Copies of this chain bind each other. A is one copy, B any other.
């Protein structure tokens, strides 16, 4: 059986999980290398018995890893600030790329990756918007796009609410993630474009508050925010992002149309268990997006690998993320300035 030799770069929480996904759920992929610039992560990988069993080489230098003679593809799961440069380097080496969102917090840099990918049409270069691979979000898309379930969709409400992080994990990366609307709402923005039929943004506004992480103030960021986007043609999307939920990872989306509404995960549940006791009836909630989207990551990885094996288009080309990022940055600007950010009919910032 043909297998695609792949490496995972970045061995943070998600990088390790992507290795796991590739090992356990993607039979046509073969993980031959991993890489991290963080010494603790490199050491952890070197000591990992499972990695040894599966014959995975561990690198502490990305460019060195790219020279691995058998390498065919990389899954980039590092911090956002190096996504673009690592993608470009891989493309230049003739490697297929699956890059986690967002490609970059800088739109020009993001565009440069899109351009590089276009110059190498034989390479599969894909944006990692994992929710697009989730069974529930896909079911919602089928229901919406067949035009029968809810008529014409015109409002999307979407939340990305993380469990309060008491160990400071996310704050460490806060300076590099582009702000709450770029880091958190990016999936919600992407979903709203998907479900509303790629409308063009017209105006947006946002407000936020600091409730648990006052240290974000120095990055002009907040830990809870609400943003609203108006699109040309009478469509609306609005978002709530939070870093501080008590009950778990709570990601939901509602799409309202002219004859109905589709709700995705409005009541989050960790599993099918309900406990009845003196407090009433209750269910637990997934702690992180990993538990919520584990299957979506497996689908994403299989479809990426399959596009390589069969030489077919990737399910989500890189340019998908460009408009998303433009809106995310506009919301972040509105959040910082307090002003409405407006776009012309082509979706370019109005001057």
1/0 per residue A276-291: CB within 8 Å of B? 1111111111000000
Task: Judge whether A272 is part of the interface by a CB distance below 8 angstroms.
Answer: yes
Q: Which of B238, B265, B270, B277 is within 8 Å of A260, CB to CB?
A: B277
A238 with B258: CB separation less than 8 A: no
Answer yes or no: A271 CB below 8 A from chain B CBs: yes
B-side contacts of A139, CB under 8 Å: 270-271, 273
- Provide the residues of chain B in CB contact with A269, threshold 8 Å: 272, 281
Report the interface size for chain A: residues with CB under 8 A from the other chain. Answer: 79
The answer to the question of A37 belonging to the interface, with a C-beta cut-off of 8 Å to chain B, is no
Inter-subunit contact B275/A143 (CB<8 Å)? yes
Q: Which A residues have a C-beta under 8 Å from some C-beta of B?
A: 1-2, 23-27, 53-55, 135-136, 139-140, 143, 149-152, 154-155, 157, 203, 205, 207-212, 224, 226, 228, 230, 234-236, 238, 240, 242, 244-248, 250, 256, 258-285, 302, 338-340
Q: Which of B25, B209, B270 is the one whose CB lies under 8 Å from A280?
A: B270
CB contact between A276 and one of B2, B26, B246 (< 8 Å): that residue: B246
Q: Judging by beta carbons under 8 Å apart, are B281 and A285 in contact?
A: yes
Query: Which residue of B has the minimal Cβ distance to A52?
Result: B1
Within 8 Å by CB of A261, from B135, B203, B245, lies B245
> Is A274's CB under 8 angstroms from B263's CB?
yes
Per the bound structure, the CA–CA distance linking A135 and B294 in Å amounts to 14
Q: Which residues of B contact A242 (CB under 8 A)?
A: 155, 256
Known A-B contacts A205-B340, A260-B276, A272-B265; A226 and B238 likewise in contact (beta carbons under 8 Å): yes
Q: Is the CB of A260 within 8 A of B234?
A: no
B contact residues around A212 at 8 Å (CB): 258
From B27, B140, B208, B275, contact of A27 by CB (8 A): B27
In the complex the two chains form, is A258's CB within 8 Å of B154's CB?
A: no
Are the CB atoms of B283 and A281 closer together than 8 Å? yes
- Listed by A's residue number, 20 A-B pairs whose Cβ atoms lie within 8 Å are A135-B271, A136-B272, A139-B271, A149-B275, A155-B224, A157-B240, A205-B205, A224-B256, A226-B236, A226-B238, A246-B259, A247-B276, A247-B277, A247-B281, A260-B276, A260-B278, A267-B274, A269-B272, A280-B282, A338-B340
- Say how far A346's CB is from chain B's closest CB, in angstroms: 19
Across the interface, do A211 and B234 meet the contact criterion of CB distance under 8 Å?
yes
Is the Cβ of A263 less than 8 Å from the Cβ of B279? no
Q: Is the CB of A273 within 8 A of B281?
A: no
